A = this chain, B = another copy of it.
Amino acid sequence: MRYEFSARAHTLLSSPLLSIRTKTRRGTLISLAEELPAEELFPLSLLAETASTVISADAGALQYGDPEGYGPLREWLTGDWLKAKGVAVAEGGVLLTTGSQQAIDLLSRVYIDPGDRVLVENPTSPGILQALRMQGAVIIPVQGDRDGLLPEHLRTQIRQHRPKMLFATPSFTNPSGILWSLARRKEVLELCTGHNVLIVEDDSYGDLHFQRYGQHPSVKYPSLYALENVSEGGHVLYIGSFSKTVAPALRTGWAAGSRELIGMMAAAKQMADWQSSSLNQRLLHHLLDVTSFDLREHIALLNREYNTRLKLMAELLKRPAWKSSTYSLPEGGMFLWVSLPTGLDAMALLKASLAKGVAFLPGPLCCVSGGGNRIRLNFSHPGRDELLLGMNLMSEAVTEFTARS
């Protein structure tokens, strides 16, 4: 039969992200394209033990659970862990989701009607753009610099477009790796609260702060949620994930904020999939609360290794092939965001790189428009040898491309 898809379904297929992912999954490519954590650092043996213990102990671990997520994990999260970041959450103010992406999608579904104006950082994550397009939002980019969104431009866009929301990742924006300054955080929060703009703050990368693993980064760079410091009726929905800090296959992210928002998202979650895996949530809770696993120490370990990989990648970018390319070295996160010289088009370079056996994420996937001379390189997943090989192949592709043009 001839299938009649919905009007916006086609926005989903316009992205080349799908085919890049399929190819890199097949293992035929070195991928600098994705946002995968280093799997050699997963707490494998502790989790294997945890799984055996949790499943043996209680048949309830395999039963349906609450749409809001496993209670003890929600308590663990909103207890010391978020409190230490200055994030105060009321009871009933947190929802466990299938990764942070589901939190973004659920909020979009309950908050955005087609035609609603939504502000985003530009560039921003492809996942945010896809969710907004599927919801029919009019996406309005806000300009930024190395310190975060530009308050003047934010003010102009708010006045001109009267947006409902702002999506922001103040700590290590995907893909640019920008860490907003404290002053910018305060200015953006003030502008949004003054104009009734809901801020969706994705803090999935905030813990991957390489330079300050001795001191808690949230002291100097508090989240917008912590800055507003209102647990009911506030302007910030705070989103995070265990995917980058423990393991992605547990598919556990969260949204925290006002009970009114969380209640509506929980209702949408029940409609969307009843609930995420309560088994995975119990595994996480047991790992975090019962075993010897220490999440702070584990994050420090990740940060030491990721910092090393970032420095290696930066070294490799000093080679002649990249002499006209520029980037800022991020203080954390998982990505380097590189500007190519004029004439070197990201999509054309991707084609040449794929032929060599290496993938990266082309800038246009992260941008409301433009981005054609930018590329996103992931440094957290490839081991050092793979990183070396991948960057060698990319350098070859760049050199050949430059010689031709």
Contacts and interface: CB of A to CB of B under 8 A. Distances in A.
A59 B40 contact: yes
Contacts of A21: 66-67, 270
A198 interface: yes
Contact of A250 (B4, B196, B268, B277): B277
Interface residues of A, number: 87
Given A109-B134, A276-B277, 9 more contacts: A3-B260, A5-B110, A5-B111, A9-B267, A44-B55, A98-B273, A98-B274, A105-B273, A249-B279
Interface string A338-379: 000000000000000000000000000000000000000000
Given A4-B164, A44-B55, A198-B3, A9 B279 contact: no
Contact of A47 (B55, B67, B99): B55
A316 B334 CA distance: 61
Nearest to A34: B64
Interface in A273-324: 273-280
Interface string A1-34: 1111111010011000110011001000000001
Contacts of A59: 39-40, 42, 44
A110 B1 contact: no
Q: How many copies of the chain does the oligomer comprise? A: 2
A96 to B, nearest CB: 12
A2 to B, nearest CB: 7
Most buried by B among A34, A40, A113: A113
A45 interface: yes
B48 A56 contact: yes
Contacts of A67: 18, 21
A144 interface: no
B3 A249 contact: no
Which 9 pairs from chain A and chain B are nearest by CB?
A51-B51, A12-B267, A62-B247, A249-B279, A98-B273, A102-B273, A48-B55, A9-B110, A39-B59
